[in-house]
Amino acid sequence: MKVTVVGAGAVGASCAEYIAMKNFASEVVLLDIKEGYAEGKAMDLMQTASLMGFDTKITGSTNDYSKTANSDVVVITSGIPRKPGMTREELIGINAGIVKTVATNLLEHSPNTIFIVVSNPMDTMTYLVHKATGLPKNRIIGMGGALDSARFKYRLAEALGAPISDVDGMVIGGHSDVGMVPLIGHATRNSIKVSEFLSEEQMSWVVEETKVGGATLTKLLGTSAWYAPGAAVSSMVQAIACDQKKMFPCSTMLDGEYGLSDICIGAPVILGKDGIEKIVEIELSDAEKAKMAESAIGVRNTNALL
Ligand SMILES: NC(=O)c1ccc[n+]([C@@H]2O[C@H](COP(=O)([O-])OP(=O)(O)OC[C@H]3O[C@@H](n4cnc5c(N)ncnc54)[C@H](O)[C@@H]3O)[C@@H](O)[C@H]2O)c1
């Protein structure tokens, strides 16, 4: 299992670190455009191997795509992150050009690879990779819902006063502050709906804090977060590498599911060795359907900027 991570910045390096720590990949290649940067991060990470007990080989490359040849999975994190007060959509001008070039270069050297797109605005960047590569939809996956769901569970646990391992929940829809659809009506604590334990006011607090989860961190850090994004990507790579058939909400090209077509947006999918092996359609309430439809309008408006 060879994995390439393009962009050796905050998210890319964190993603490489978690993949290595989980010890399921034989090789991780970090690639960045900044001279020596990916090589430096790779060397630093390799010097943790004897301390952390992993055998994954991490190498770095300055924009030499021949080093990425025959990757099973490629992760695109290259591009600029948002600063406090910015929306993810504002990044499109710079990131669209970067993502398109990077995707084309990667495919040239790894024609059978599976793409995981992380750069923002992520749903639109995932759509762009579809249009730029023409690959089948199972091989292009956008990472947003896995992270947003982890943030949702963090807030649910906080409101419930419960350990995170007690809670389950999922966020679908667009990966934006307004577009996320945290499925609070489906969230549970040990299989019991959270509405049994939380008031309406507490549940709307959880939903609103989840939606601005990224913005809250960007304000605190001065740039966007990296630990949870890196961990979310590593779990998705592991599901593919180990053919786990695990369910994650991911940005995926819809073809009639949830009443939507020709759009990449967050929906529950099964991840295994072929990438997206199934899109799971769950029954949504009328309010959830309306939120999903509204979220799709937002994603389409950003797609139109391409
Ligand atoms: N989808 C998500 O849930 C999610 C979560 C967090 C961050 N992000 C996004 O991920 C992206 C990366 O965030 P970050 O915090 O790691 O940023 P960062 O600035 O720390 O790292 C980005 C890296 O990309 C590199 N880069 C730029 N152009 C390149 C090119 N053409 N080829 C190769 N490398 C190139 C830069 O040199 C830099 O090292 C941002 O767009 C951010 O908004 C998405």
Residue length, the chain?
306
Exposure pattern of 30-55 as b/e (b: 16+ CB <10 Å)? bbbeeeebbbbbbeebbeebeeeebe
Q: How confident is the model at residue 265 (pLDDT cuts 50, 70, 90)?
A: very high
CA distance 242 to 122: 25
Instruction: Write down the pLDDT at residue 49.
Output: 98
CA distance 271 to 236: 7
Ligand 1 pocket test, pick from 4, 6, 32, 95 with the greatest ligand atom count within 8 Å of Cβ, gives 32
Closest ligand 1 atom, CA of 144?
3
Residue 4 backbone class (left: φ over 0; alpha: ψ -120 to 50; beta: rest): beta
Q: What single-letter DSSP state applies at residue 83? A: P
Q: How confident is the model at residue 225 (pLDDT cuts 50, 70, 90)?
A: very high
Is 186 tagged catalytic? Answer: no
- Structure confidence by residue, pLDDT tens digits, 147-187: 999 999 999 999 999 999 999 999 999 999 999 999 999 99
Selected catalytic residue, list 109, 130, 175, 186: 175
Find out whether the beta carbon of 32 lies less than 6 Å from any atom of ligand 1: yes
- Structure confidence by residue, pLDDT tens digits, 86-127: 889 899 999 999 999 999 999 999 999 999 999 999 999 999
The enclosing H or E element of 44 equals helix 37-46
* DSSP codes of every residue in 111-170: TT-EEEE-SSSHHHHHHHHHHHH---GGGEEE-SHHHHHHHHHHHHHHHHT--GGGEE--
- Structure confidence by residue, pLDDT tens digits, 38-83: 999 999 999 999 999 999 999 999 999 999 999 999 999 999 998 9
Between the CA of 142 and the centroid of ligand 1 the distance, in Å, is: 14
Find out whether the beta carbon of 8 lies less than 6 Å from any atom of ligand 1: yes
Closest ligand 1 atom, CA of 148?
3
Instruction: Write down the pLDDT at residue 130.
Output: 98
Between the CA of 77 and the centroid of ligand 1 the distance, in Å, is: 4
Helix (H, G, I), strand (E, B) or coil at 85: coil
Across the chain, mean pLDDT equals 97
- Structure confidence by residue, pLDDT tens digits, 4-22: 999 999 999 999 999 999 9
Q: In 3D, which of 135, 133, 126, 221 has the Cα closest to residue 175?
A: 126
Instruction: Write down the pLDDT at residue 259.
Output: 96
